Amino acid sequence: MWNYPKSALHQAAIDAMKPELDIAAAKAMAAQSKLRRASDAVQALKEHEAEKIATRAKTARLRAERLARAAEVQSPSLAKSARK
């Protein structure tokens, strides 16, 4: 229609309004987002499993320490009752 020199910003705005480019770009961005979400989900699952394993190990260690303290407390009291 108007054939005059356009600034780079104006030409970019015109190009952005072209529906074919918008649809293709939207599809590409959607596919990229889908791939990123999938990889994030895999990474999150790995992190969750690692945290679960660490929690179980910590719980087992703390339980062992608690039982050791309880046994240590009970041992002297058993020894005192055996003396009587």
SS3 26: helix
Quote the pLDDT of residue 22. 73
Q: Which residue ranges make up each domain of the chain?
A: 36-84
| pLDDT tens profile 6-53 | 888 888 887 777 766 678 888 999 999 999 999 999 999 999 999 999
DSSP secondary structure code for residue 57 in this structure: H
Total-model pTM: 0.53
Quote the pLDDT of residue 24. 82
Quote the pLDDT of residue 10. 84
| Residue 75 token pair | 């041992």
> In sequence order, what are the residues at sequence separation of 6 or more whose Cβ sits closer than 8 angstroms to the Cβ of residue 21?
15
